[in-house]
Amino acid sequence: MRTSPSLTSAQLAGAPLPSPPSSLPDYVADQLRAAILGGHVAAGTPLRQEDIAKQLGASRPPVREALRLLEGEGLVELRPRRGYVVASLNMTEVAEIFDIRERLEEHAAELAALRRTRKDVSEVAALLTRMEALDESELGLFAAANHAFHTRIFQVADRPRLLRMMLSLRETVERYIRLGGALSADMPTVRDEHRAIFAAFEAGDSVTLGRLSRAHVAGTGHRLLAALAAREQSHAG
Amino acid sequence: MRTSPSLTSAQLAGAPLPSPPSSLPDYVADQLRAAILGGHVAAGTPLRQEDIAKQLGASRPPVREALRLLEGEGLVELRPRRGYVVASLNMTEVAEIFDIRERLEEHAAELAALRRTRKDVSEVAALLTRMEALDESELGLFAAANHAFHTRIFQVADRPRLLRMMLSLRETVERYIRLGGALSADMPTVRDEHRAIFAAFEAGDSVTLGRLSRAHVAGTGHRLLAALAAREQSHAG
DNA sequence: AAACAGAATATTGAAGACAATCCTGTCCGG
DNA sequence: CCGGACAGGATTGTCTTCAATATTCTGTTT
């Protein structure tokens, strides 16, 4: 038995090597990212290189490279000579990220509204339909559908770097969203917002889509921060 | 003689180990970053791990970690099985970055105007004075002073992540700015913009400072893109 | 003479081993 | 009984070595 649990095998699921994503460090990074974003490893959890290497059937050097990669993404932190730990965000940092996302997603949405094609609209419509078919009992699936819906719209903007930045920021706060249950809260509101967003996208109304997208991010942020505040309150002491 | 020059010793200056920045990979990353941003290595230059390791007195594993770090920053690209090369940006990508910077810097400027203290104002004033004391003959010093001036203002916003993102984007296009000579072009305009920015900052006029900052970024972007276009024109064939 | 195929070389990708450092537990002293 | 110092163990940081693959050169063939 360990006194300070670092990472159990059950948290790193998946076959040993289903399809090597070009390189071993990338594969390791993918697995770790999924484990962290899936909320299977709590913030502050120390990431022992030896354990990870053994569980993924690799050696330590590739694991180190993967951790460097994740460090750049802000998912893990390096304490010199003390190893890597899963990065933790306080409420101030979460708020800052949502604040940035507001600006970025508003901009991307504006561009998307101007560049949309019929094909884009029909695909986004399909994603919206798929998302609305899910009820609150399938939160995992709903989160995935939600992600696909928004990402598909942003892809229309055709700004690779902007998209990468938005996704990275989103990923960073994603696990908190699930933790705080901010998605399930106020489901009808979220549904209405999605419909309005789609309508503006379909209509090609740039400023409206931008405004709605920004408000949507802000709303999610507020719900999450409220949930985190409540959580912190109950964990006080 | 090499047929395809990768990286000469002269391009990686500096003492072997002046002050170890906590870890060897970080040190290597710092050196490489400086070499790339300084414009000493052209875009597309292959980065041979063995050469870098030898020149910096390290081994290959730390170099690999450093390259992974830089990969996350977008300064180098990894071609699987073919090694790392200095990342190159086409004009579309440069334009995209400036477009993002407009939104980010506008936001940061707005926040800075609201949070400024007397101390902040006096320090920024000093930086402005220092910058104006330099003439066009000292472009390197001017660029540094310019960087310090804007960064100091953005620091007032007290948004660490936002600041990091802005600096990272700025760094990515920095070497093109020097290459294109976009800084020297239209020096009087730049000077006026800086004065207006300082005035709004001093006055605490949030929306004006935001608008001016955004326009300043846009102006720099336009000048740079024009310079790059001209350059491309002359290099045609 | 040019194009293709094969081999040799060079470079990346990965693994194992060694050294340095930090943490944990215990023992001793106040 | 509590606090500090020391020793043992564990973990990180780095190096050396080995394997796999892409590139390039050369030789041959058409």
B180 pLDDT above the threshold of 90: no
Query: Chain A neighbours among B 92-151 (CB < 8 Å)?
Result: 93, 96-97, 99-100, 103-104, 107
pLDDT attached to residue B182? 57
pLDDT one-digit tens code per residue, B194-235: 999 999 999 999 999 999 999 999 999 998 998 888 877 776
- CB contact under 8 Å between B73 and A73, yes or no, is no
The arithmetic mean of pLDDT across residues B172-201, rounded, is 83
Smallest Cα–Cα separation from B163: which of A140, A96, A129? Answer: A96
pLDDT of residue A21: 56
Q: Which of A45, A69, A86 corresponds to the end of one domain?
A: A86
Strand C–CB A103 distance below 7 A: no
A–B interface: beta-carbon pairs under 8 A: 65
pLDDT in tens, A24-66: 898 999 999 988 887 788 888 899 999 999 988 888 899 999 9
Window 83-102 of chain B: CB closer than 7 A to strand D: none
pLDDT band at B61, cuts 50/70/90?
A: very high
| pLDDT tier at B2, thresholds 50, 70, 90 | very low
Same-domain status, A59 and A111: no
Work out if A47's Cβ lies within 7 angstroms of strand D. yes
How many domains is chain A partitioned into structurally?
Answer: 2
A48 touches strand D (CB under 7 A): yes
Domain boundary pick from B59, B86, B113: B86
Q: What is the CATH number of the domain that holds B58?
A: 1.10.10.10
Is A198 found in the same domain as A109?
yes
Asked whether residue B203 is assigned to any structural domain, the reply reads yes
- Residue A37: name the closest of A157, A145, A140 by CA: A140
Same domain for B135 and B184, yes or no, is: yes
Spatial distance between the Cα atoms of B76 and B89, rounded to a whole number of angstroms: 11
CB contact under 8 A, B107 and A99: yes
User: Considering only CB atoms, which chain A residues are within 8 Å of B60?
Assistant: none
**Mean pLDDT, to the nearest integer, of B71-80?**
88
pLDDT given for residue A147 in this prediction:
94
Alpha carbon distances (Å) from B93 to A11, A199, B11: 38, 30, 26
Q: Give the pLDDT confidence score for residue A96 in this predicted structure.
A: 97
Percent of chain B with pLDDT over 90: 55
* pLDDT tier for residue B183 given thresholds of 50, 70 and 90: low
Q: Evaluate whether B224 touches B173 at the Cβ level (below 8 Å).
A: yes
Question: Average pLDDT in the B63-68 region?
Answer: 92
Chain A neighbors of B69, CB-CB under 8 A: 68, 71-72
Going by C-alpha positions, the residue among A141, A212, A221, A211 that lies closest to residue A186 is A221
pLDDT of residue A5: 43
Let me know if residue A214 belongs to a domain. Answer: yes
Q: Are B33 and B143 contained in the same domain?
A: no
**Integer Cα distance of B151 and B132 in angstroms:** 16
Both B69 and B103 in a single domain? no
Do residues B101 and B148 both lie within one domain?
yes
Q: Which of A80, A96, A161 sits opposite B100 (nearest CB)?
A: A161
Q: Tell me, yes or no, whether B107 and B220 share the same domain.
A: yes
Residues A85, A42 contacting (CB under 8 angstroms)? no
What is the per-residue pLDDT for B11? 53
Mean pLDDT throughout B103-111? 98
B4 located within any domain: no
Q: Among A84, A100, A111, A165, which would you mutate to test the B interface (most chain B Cβ atoms within 10 Å of its Cβ)?
A: A100
- Residue B115 CA to residue B109 CA, distance in Å, equals 10
Nucleotide with the nearest C1' to B81 CA: C12
Asked whether strand D has any atom less than 7 Å from the CB of B9, the reply is no
* A110 CA, D18 C1': Å apart: 54
> Do A129 and A29 belong together in one domain?
no
- For residues B134 and B54, state if they share a domain: no
Interchain contact, B159 vs A99, CB within 8 Å: yes
CATH number at residue A162: 1.20.120.530
**Contact present, A181 and A122 (Cβ < 8 Å):** no
Domain membership of residue B230 as a residue range: 91-234
With bands split at pLDDT 50, 70 and 90, how would you rate the model's confidence at B23?
confident
How sure is the predictor about B13, in pLDDT bands with cuts at 50, 70 and 90? very low
Q: Å between B45 CA and D29 C1'?
A: 37
Q: Provide, as residue numbers in chain B, all residues whose Cβ is less than 8 Å from the Cβ of A23.
A: 80
**Is residue B222 included in any domain, yes or no?**
yes
A173 within 8 A of A89, measured Cβ to Cβ? yes
Specify whether B169 is located in the same domain as B108: yes
Q: Is the pLDDT of residue B9 over 60?
A: no
Domain boundary among B52, B86, B120: B86
pLDDT value of residue B43: 86
pLDDT digits (tens, 9 = 90+) for B136-163: 778 788 888 999 999 999 999 999 999 9
Comparison of pLDDT for B26 and B152, the residue scoring more:
B152
**Distance (Å, rounded) from C-alpha B91 to C-alpha B89?**
7
- Residue B191 belongs to some domain of the structure: yes
Residues A113 and A133 in one domain: yes
From the list B105, B104, B124, the residue with the least C-alpha distance to B116 is B124
Say if B149 falls within a structural domain. Answer: yes
Query: Tokens 């029909």 correspond to what residue?
Result: A122
State the nearest Cα–Cα gap between A72 and chain B, in angstroms: 5
pLDDT above 60 (res B18): no
Where chain A has pLDDT below 70, the residues are: 1-21, 179-185, 235-237
A205, A107: one domain? yes
> Which pLDDT score, from 0 to 100, does residue A14 have?
42
